[in-house]
Amino acid sequence: MVKKLVIGTRKSELAMIQTNWVKDELKEINPELEIEIVPMSTKGDKILDVALSKIGEKSLFTKELELALEARKVDVVVHSLKDLPTVLPDGMVIGAICEREDPSDAVVMKEEHRGKILHCLPAGSIVGTSSLRRTAQLQRRYPQLQFRSVRGNLNTRLRKLDQGGGEADFAAIVLAVAGVTRMGWADRISAILPPEDCMHAVGQGALAVECRADDMPILRLVSALSHRETKLGCVAERAFLRQLEGGCSVPVAARTRLHRHVLHLTGGVWSLDGTQEVRRTLAVPLPGHGGRDGDSNGAGDTKNGAAENGAEPAAKRRRTMSAGGERHFVGVWAPHEEHEELEVAEKLGIDVALMLLGMGAKPILDAAKAANTAPAPNDPPRPANAEGAGACPVAAGGAIPTAAAAVGATE
């Protein structure tokens, strides 16, 4: 029986909030458990003057934490799941994926634009984001705006928006809803972007607890924090990203939902300037729940979620095993009774990725990766078909609108 647990985490305020939430959840389940939190700095926390996509190294926010885990200085590490690569270091697994917050992206406006949405900003306004994924999708949707990189933790990015003195004079910045909400700043959100405007990053909104693969007492302890629907969706998303061999240097996004025992996954790939898009949706019934929900959103014909464009036979799919011989799913450990469902989720992610590759995603991904080995331009490329902003509905009564409320005129 585990009597004491040492948790590693990043030093940022958001990371500490998330880790203390995990601590509280574990204490509620195990009141006698002694828990110590050990904060650390990572390379990604220290390099703040270069866009993430240009740093050229994986595990920017996780490596130092994983070294401490390997050295047994800590027993587990709490991460934002979207920071964890789809291939973990040998001997490491994700022991729990906690219930997901809203995975959407949020628009936070400068004071003079409070209550507006992106469609309402004057042409040429500068919007800050640290993500190529957001930049590519939003340039496609809002070609009249400029999108620039903004680095730093949430506190720093908000300060750059409110006080200036950052990379540019930002009219707005785009952040993850989950992070803003966990920091207690939900009142700063002017709009929540719908998936038609901006699909979220793989794993966004979920917390992961990383463990040593051979530490079964710890794995059993933290597995109580896992949330079934979140785990199924995130396994599908991570399998999709791994099959594409994507990361923060390419614009890749995903969206999952579980409806009536059918798991749906939409995956998308964009060129850096947003002018090229490949997007597809597949759905599969979970084991024990027959029937076929099928391919949705006009995605074409499929059979039981199997992609027709070069899908691998099930027998040839890579099976990943932990150091102790335990099966895991894109780095996610689970008890045996969950394996059948998770295998279906993992296969769904692979199938969607194979479909996109068959539809021409590979040259788009290759071009994005090549561009990110070159020096970064001051401004991202602009689409050739830029248009004006059009009429501007304003949010009424201080409510948080979705961008769809105003963009309907341009669809």
Q: Cα–chain-centroid distance for residue 188?
A: 21
Under 8 Å between Cβ of 223 and 336: no
Q: Are strands 207-212 and 4-10 parallel, antiparallel or unpaired?
A: unpaired
Listed residue (201, 184, 176, 12) closest to 108, CA to CA:
176
Q: Which residues are catalytic?
A: 83
Under 8 Å between Cβ of 297 and 266: yes
The residues pairing with 127 across neighbouring beta strands, listed in sequence order, are 147, 172
CA distance linking residue 367 with residue 322, whole number of Å: 34
Under 8 Å between Cβ of 147 and 138: yes
Cβ contacts of 408 within 8 Å, gap of 6 or more: none
Tokens of 396: 């009424």
From the number of C-beta atoms within 10 Å of its C-beta (0-12, 13-18, 19+), residue 254 rates as buried
CA dist 363 to 61, 118, 246, 247, 280, Å? 28, 30, 13, 15, 17
